[in-house]
């Protein structure tokens, strides 16, 4: 993302305290202080060509390229700095972020560990050290969204953001080439545009105009449900007055305007604006009574935090309040949005993600929110992904990104949700039931309610294996180990972030009781004889036993309940017995070692006649595995 950072706060962080290192760097430093990072980088490069480069120049170059999202170049120059003596912790963090954005996840891990040692109390370090190898697991997750580039809307310039009002899409763009260029990335100043949504296409984009449009930046917008008020962010410029902070920075402020006769008029400043810090990225709660925004105002914990403020019935505002530490970090939290259910979506580079800015969500919990959770790979990339909005009912929305393949530096994508958002990190440990010691090398399958194998993995030296599964779904976890009786558990996952369970396996001999092989009931569908996955799971234990004892001969005796005629049940039980025999033969057991016969309803365990309960009928529907020879 080359443009959006001008729309929030960390401007002062990144530039306001820069002093010239010496007379040679003064020109470059002045450009840097004015946020003209493209020109500043050129000036620092000239110093390198003259042989006047030092650690300070390399760090400034790293910052310039990092702020305009040229992570390949920022990696190059940060590398020269971090390998020197006592680098700044934030420079190490930026270097790690550059490595991650460039797909160098192993190196990213190494330098995040270095950063974590330097700043052990930083929330970014704490979260990383809880799960330092999180990226492979995140990449493994099933993608929840499909993305489509809005080619009819995007240009070679920056397009980002977007809110829908009726059949119109409001978004931000730098396409107005009549405007002067901004030194940050040499693109024109930003404006708010409005386009028509027609039959799945976006067309007729036009400048919003009215009092909202000035000669400086106008960025993100939020519009009330009745369409009569717009909140938007812009440079600190109102009624002809262009203000700067004590450090000479023109901040971003938050404003609102009313729709009068089809034009946005009467721009007013919110009361918590300041010339000493920035406020921007407005979003409204579903009921319109709370305004959310981003700021670097004093008292926050990061470079930019998300705040909320009450909108009173008389139109006045309450006191801004920062969202909790489950949302805000020492990094940047930006672009909040709330759907009709009150779920908060936002972007952050402080939470664990795949790229620079990733999209996260937090569900409403009364007046608070749950801890932030990633939206996952696909929606998120190794680049910057931000300004996500969604219609929760239609499961459709938009996201902005500077990922590869776009038309410009930032593009808007339409998104379609494919699956529920919440995931559960499931850890399974497989144990020996007799010794309670972990079993390494056991195969563990996760199966959904439709008997589909979702994933299959092998346990590590501690008997552990990890999966990512959808929440609020039923899953079977089945464990297999050579010379052990297979076993499993059924789980219904809730909205917890992690879930631990164990499966205990007994040596295969445990299923032999006197002259029988005792398995869990072999279940068939009504009037069917095909082998289902549950039956196969149990019969595999019989196969394992017979392979371990090659002289063993087994007879399968199949029984039914008393529903139906004698002839019907005899035929059904014979078909089931033969299907069972054929399955065992298909797994490599010689046909001379296994036979089967159906007994219909002639040999019940429960002699309940025509008054059997469901439980009694279930006991009578069975297959017995008789050891004929051992």
Distance CA 540, CA 544 (A): 6
pLDDT per position as a tens digit, 523-559:
777 777 888 877 888 899 999 999 999 999 999 999 9
Mean pLDDT computed over every residue of the chain: 89
The stretch 480-498 carries a mean pLDDT of 87
Pure H helices in 531-565:
533-548
Q: How far apart are alpha carbons 614 and 554 in whole angstroms?
A: 29
Q: Using the predicted structure, report yes or no on whether residue 3 has a pLDDT greater than 70.
A: no
- Please report the pLDDT score of residue 445 as a whole number: 93
Alpha-carbon 349 to chain mean position: 13
Q: Which percentage of the chain shows pLDDT scores above 90?
A: 59
Q: Which residues pair with 489 in a beta bridge?
A: 477
Greatest CA separation for the chain: 104
Q: In what order do the strands lie in the sheet with 464-470?
A: 464-470, 423-432, 498-507, 484-485
* Structure confidence at residue 13 (pLDDT): 36
pLDDT at 9: 40
- Tens digits of residue pLDDT in 5-24: 444 444 433 333 445 567 88
**In terms of pTM, does the model score above 0.75?**
no
Tell which wins on pLDDT, 90 or 532.
90
Q: What is the pLDDT of residue 129?
A: 93
Give the CA radius of gyration of the chain.
32
Which of residues 210 and 389 earns the better pLDDT score? 389
User: Quick check: 189 and 216 in contact, CB under 8 A?
Assistant: yes
DSSP H or E segment with residue 427: strand 423-432
Read off the pLDDT of residues 547-606 as tens digits, 9 standing for 90 and up: 999 999 999 999 998 888 999 999 999 999 999 999 999 999 999 999 999 999 999 989
What confidence category does residue 409 fall into, taking pLDDT thresholds of 50, 70 and 90?
Answer: confident
Which ranges of 55-133 does DSSP label H, i.e. alpha helix? 55-67, 71-82, 89-101, 105-118, 123-130
Q: Quick one: pLDDT at residue 41? A: 93
Domains of the chain (ranges plus CATH)?
1-134+149-288+305-326 (1.25.40.10), 423-508 (2.60.40.10), 514-629 (3.30.1330.60)
Q: In what order do the strands lie in the sheet with 487-492?
A: 453-458, 443-448, 474-480, 487-492
Mean pLDDT over 428-450 rounds to 93
Q: What is the mean pLDDT of residues 220-231?
A: 94
pLDDT of 253 reads 94
Give mean pLDDT, residues 84-104.
93
Statement: residue 257 has pLDDT above 90? yes
Residue 408 confidence (pLDDT) above 80: no
Output the six-digit token pair for 433.
């039931």
């Amino acid at each position: 993302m080359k443009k959006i950072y001008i729309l929030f706060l960390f401007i002062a962080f990144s530039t306001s305290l820069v002093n010239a290192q010496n007379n040679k760097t003064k020109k470059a430093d002045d450009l840097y202080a004015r946020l003209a990072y493209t020109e500043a980088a050129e000036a620092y490069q000239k110093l390198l060509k003259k042989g006047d480069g030092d650690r300070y120049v390399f760090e400034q170059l790293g910052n310039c390229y990092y702020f305009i999202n040229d992570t390949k170049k920022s990696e190059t120059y940060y590398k020269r700095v971090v390998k020197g003596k006592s680098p700044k912790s934030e420079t190490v963090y930026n270097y790690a972020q550059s490595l991650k954005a460039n797909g160098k996840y192993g190196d990213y891990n190494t330098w995040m560990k270095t950063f974590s040692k330097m700043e052990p109390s930083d929330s970014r370090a704490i979260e990383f050290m809880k799960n330092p190898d999180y990226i492979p697991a995140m990449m493994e997750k099933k993608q929840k969204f499909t993305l489509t580039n809005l080619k009819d809307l995007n240009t070679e310039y920056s397009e980002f953001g977007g809110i829908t009002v009726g059949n119109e899409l409001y978004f931000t763009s730098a396409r107005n080439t009549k405007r002067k260029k901004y030194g940050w990335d040499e693109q024109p100043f930003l404006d708010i545009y409005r386009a028509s949504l027609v039959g799945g296409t976006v067309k007729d984009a036009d400048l919003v105009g009215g009092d909202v449009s000035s000669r400086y930046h106008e960025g993100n917008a939020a519009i009330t449900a009745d369409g009569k008020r717009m909140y938007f962010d812009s440079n600190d410029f109102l009624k002809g007055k262009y203000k700067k902070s004590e450090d000479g920075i023109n901040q971003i402020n938050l404003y609102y305007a009313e729709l009068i006769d089809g034009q946005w008029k009467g721009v007013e400043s919110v009361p918590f604006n300041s010339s000493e810090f920035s406020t921007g990225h407005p979003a409204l709660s579903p009921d319109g009574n709370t305004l959310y925004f981003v700021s670097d105002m004093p008292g926050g914990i990061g470079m930019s935090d998300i705040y909320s403020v009450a909108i009173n019935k008389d139109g006045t505002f309450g006191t801004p309040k920062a969202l909790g530490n489950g949302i805000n970090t020492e990094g940047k939290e930006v672009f909040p949005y709330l759907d009709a259910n009150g779920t908060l979506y936002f972007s952050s580079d402080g939470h664990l993600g795949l790229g620079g800015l990733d999209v996260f969500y937090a569900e409403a919990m009364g007046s608070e929110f749950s801890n932030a959770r990633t939206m996952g790979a696909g929606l998120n990339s190794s680049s910057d992904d931000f300004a996500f909005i969604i219609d929760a009912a239609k499961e459709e929305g938009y996201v902005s990104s500077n990922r590869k393949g776009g038309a410009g530096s930032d593009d808007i994508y339409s998104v379609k949700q494919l699956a529920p958002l919440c995931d559960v990190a499931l850890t399974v440990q497989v144990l020996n039931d007799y010794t309670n010691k972990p079993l390494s090398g056991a195969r563990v399958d996760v199966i959904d309610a439709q008997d589909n194998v979702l994933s299959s993995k092998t346990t590590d030296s501690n008997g552990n294996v990890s999966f990512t599964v959808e929440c609020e779904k039923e899953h079977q976890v089945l464990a297999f180990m050579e010379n052990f009786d297979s076993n499993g558990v059924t789980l219904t996952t809730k909205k917890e972030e992690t879930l631990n369970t164990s499966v205990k396996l007994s040596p295969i001999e445990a299923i032999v009781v006197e002259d029988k092989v005792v398995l869990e009931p072999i279940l068939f569908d009504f009037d069917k004889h095909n082998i289902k996955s549950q039956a196969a799971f149990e019969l595999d234990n019989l196969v394992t036993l017979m392979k371990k004892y090659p002289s063993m001969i087994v007879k399968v005796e199949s029984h039914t309940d008393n529903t139906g005629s004698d002839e019907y049940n005899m035929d059904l039980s014979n078909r089931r017995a033969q299907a069972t025999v054929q399955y065992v033969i298909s797994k490599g057991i010689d046909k001379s070692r296994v036979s089967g016969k159906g007994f219909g309803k002639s040999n019940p365990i429960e002699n309940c006649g025509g008054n059997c309960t469901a439980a009694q009928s279930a006991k009578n529907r069975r297959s017995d595995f008789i050891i004929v020879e051992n």
